[in-house]
């Protein structure tokens, strides 16, 4: 196997994206502007005056923005790793056409993982630029939020690839969104501290990647100190989900496309 086949698959995705990048990029800027204006400034202004306006010692906008950044990476990764992948497998038969060439299944999978990283990176950079415009980044170390957010997206996207590879129709995607993606968006520390939740929801949040991604991204943008052990645990969880997801996803692709 060479990486040339994976590069070809990535090139195909980039060429396909060339037809829609303008609208996609506009949405990538408009969405965070609306979210931060409505939730960060609008909702933040409704919180009681004085010190009670602070959440964990910072204004609500500054608290909210990094959480939304990480959550947006999760949502983007989920979107890119479900319907588009199943369509290429089942409905459009794109992978069948690709595999009729010297490109191997492993290269197809690696190319799609590379595209997932690129897609999440585009959304992340756009959102981060909006955060800078809203003065929600308080240190040059905030730039670390970009790779940390991309890693958060990969920690979701790779396992979702494995899930998609085992689906025979799209009915399971609605359940995945309803019982995983949406609850995590609401409960994984994006809008308020996880410690405010009942214990069962705290456990649910911390055993999944988003809470760990939010913690790291928030620490970076706020330039707030974080214990080395805590940072190591957060990174380990994200890397673990990414690594296991890639392994299971590759196995699923090989089993599914080798049929």
Kindly report, residue by residue over 220-251, the tens digit of the pLDDT: 999 888 888 999 999 999 999 999 999 999 99
pLDDT at res. 42: 59
**122 three-class SS:** helix
Q: What is the DSSP letter of 39?
A: I
Residues in contact with 123: Cβ distance below 8 Å, sequence separation at least 6, in sequence order = 28, 72, 73, 76
Q: How far is CA 259 from CA 52, 250, 254, in A?
A: 60, 14, 8
pLDDT at res. 253: 94
Q: What does pTM read for this prediction?
A: 0.89
- Spatial separation of the C-alpha atoms in residues 242 and 259, rounded to whole Å: 26
Residue from 226, 165, 224, 205 nearest 70 by CA: 205
CB 128 within 8 A of CB 33: no
User: 47-56 contacts: CB < 8 A, separation 24 or more?
Assistant: 55/192, 55/193, 56/193
Residues in contact with 4: Cβ distance below 8 Å, sequence separation at least 6, in sequence order = 107
pLDDT at res. 43: 59
pLDDT at res. 48: 47
Residues making up the chain, counted from first to last: 259
pLDDT at res. 44: 55
pLDDT at res. 39: 66
Residue numbers of the chain with a pLDDT score lower than 70:
1-3, 21, 28, 38-54, 259
Concatenated DSSP letters for 152-214?
A: HHHHHHHHHHHHHHT-SSSHHHHHHIIIIIHHHHHHSSSSS-GGGS-HHHHHHHHTSHHHHHH
Q: Can you state the angle between helices 21-35 and 105-133, rounded to 10 degrees?
A: 50
Q: What is the DSSP letter of 116?
A: H
Residue from 209, 73, 221 nearest 140 by CA: 221
């Amino acid at each position: 196997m060479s990486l040339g086949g994976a590069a070809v698959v990535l090139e195909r995705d980039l060429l396909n994206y060339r037809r829609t990048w303008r609208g996609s990029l506009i949405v990538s800027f408009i969405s965070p502007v609306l979210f931060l204006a409505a939730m960060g400034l609008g909702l933040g202004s409704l919180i009681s005056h004085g010190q009670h306006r602070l959440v964990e010692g910072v204004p609500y906008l500054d608290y909210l923005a990094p959480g939304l950044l990480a959550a947006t990476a999760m949502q983007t990764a989920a979107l890119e790793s479900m319907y588009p992948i199943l369509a290429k497998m089942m409905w459009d038969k794109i992978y069948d056409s690709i595999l009729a060439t010297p490109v191997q299944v492993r290269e197809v999978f690696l190319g799609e993982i590379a595209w997932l990283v690129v897609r999440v990176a585009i959304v992340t950079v756009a959102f981060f630029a909006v955060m800078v415009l809203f003065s929600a980044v308080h240190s040059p170390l905030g730039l670390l939020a970009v790779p940390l957010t991309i890693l958060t997206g990969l920690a979701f996207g790779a396992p979702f690839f494995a899930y998609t590879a085992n689906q025979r129709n799209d009915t399971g995607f609605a359940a995945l969104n309803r019982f995983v993606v949406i609850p995590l968006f609401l409960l994984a520390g994006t809008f308020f501290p996880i410690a405010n939740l009942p214990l069962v929801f705290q456990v649910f949040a911390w055993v999944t990647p988003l809470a760990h991604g939010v913690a790291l991204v928030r620490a970076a943008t706020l330039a707030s100190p974080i214990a080395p052990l805590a940072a190591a645990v957060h990174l380990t969880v994200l890397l673990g989900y990414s690594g296991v997801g890639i392994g299971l996803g590759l196995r699923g692709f090989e089993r599914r496309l080798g049929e």
